[in-house]
Amino acid sequence: MKTNKEKLVMQSVHGKIHSPIMKGNYYRIDSLGKGLILPATGGITYNYQIGDPCMDLVGDHVEPGVSIRNEIKEENNALMVLSCIGNEAIVTSGEAKGAKGFVTGKHGGIEHVMVYFTKEVLERLTIDDKILIKAWGQGLAIEGYEDVVCMNIDPNLFEKIGIHENEKGQLEVPVVAEIPAYLMGSGIGASTAFSGDYDIMTGDEKANKEFGIDKLRFGDLVLLKDFDNTYGRQYLEGAVTIGVVVHSNSIISGHGPGITTILSCKTNKLIGKIAVDANIANYLGVK
């Protein structure tokens, strides 16, 4: 496949490690009406990273690795929109200055970008350390597939996924699971999928097992059936969206593991091919 990779602009965006926050009465209410106090978004998550299970952990919307944001709204908008999964991240302050990692996802609502660093680097980081992202990838297009919209993915990572054209002229993308449209929840109706994520609903245990949701990991590639993300997020019969699991499951009704979109098409030009190892950790050499 030929892309316009060589024409894309790379720019710096930046944020700082954002402390976890708690509002209101501290409780999160689950789908059965029970109040729980749990770790959630923000900060440095030391013991979960891409490639690890995202479903069976005691937390809510947990973001693996490091969560960053910029306190200036317009600059955070740029951080959220221009950062792409796989982009290089560089620590620019503190004890870990100079250490490198990469972007693993974008979480809407809280407006965080998540970044992977090795465990050794995590131990040297602290809240408010600054991180620069070499943002590159928005505007990526595939020659001959103008109806397939690419977003939120570093062109070098895109090439490592192993997407190929089949005999029917469709692009086959490795995915670990295919999710029906009726299981998509929080985030539907957003004006763009070039920022943030939206959630797979996980309140139905039978569906979780039927579609392999109970086995999802941070960084997994999944296919969303009958969902169009080309301009916002909406149900559309026959449309296909491919995304990456970016945060953990949630106890809250209408929520679950978050998906940041990387490809979307209103037609059948995209199809999935089940592959248990379709995870960005494998493509980016994380062990």
Concatenated DSSP letters of 139-160: T--BTT-TTEEE-SB-HHHHHH
Q: Residue 287's pLDDT band (boundaries 50, 70, 90)?
A: confident
- Domain spans, the chain: 5-135, 148-283
Find the angle CA(23)-CA(49)-CA(285) to the nearest 5 degrees. Answer: 150
Q: How does pLDDT run across 71-105, given as a tens digit for each residue? A: 999 999 999 999 999 999 999 999 999 999 999 99
- DSSP state, 67? E
Sheet holding 164-165, edge to edge: 164-165, 171-175, 270-274
Contacts of 259 (CB under 8 A, 6+ apart): 197, 198, 199, 200, 222, 224, 243, 244, 245, 246
With tokens 């090439």, the residue in question is 159
Q: How far apart are CA 213 and CA 152, in angstroms?
A: 22
Asked if the 148-283 domain carries CATH number 2.102.30.10, the reply is: yes
Q: How far apart are CA 142 and CA 1, in angstroms?
A: 7
Q: Residue 122's pLDDT band (boundaries 50, 70, 90)?
A: very high
**25 pLDDT above the threshold of 90:** no
**In the prediction, which pLDDT does 23 show?**
85
Residue 158, H or E segment: helix 155-160
Question: Which spans in 181-222 are helix H?
Answer: 205-210
With tokens 């895109």, the residue in question is 158
**In the prediction, which pLDDT does 68 show?**
98
Q: What is the CATH number of domain 5-135?
A: 2.40.10.170
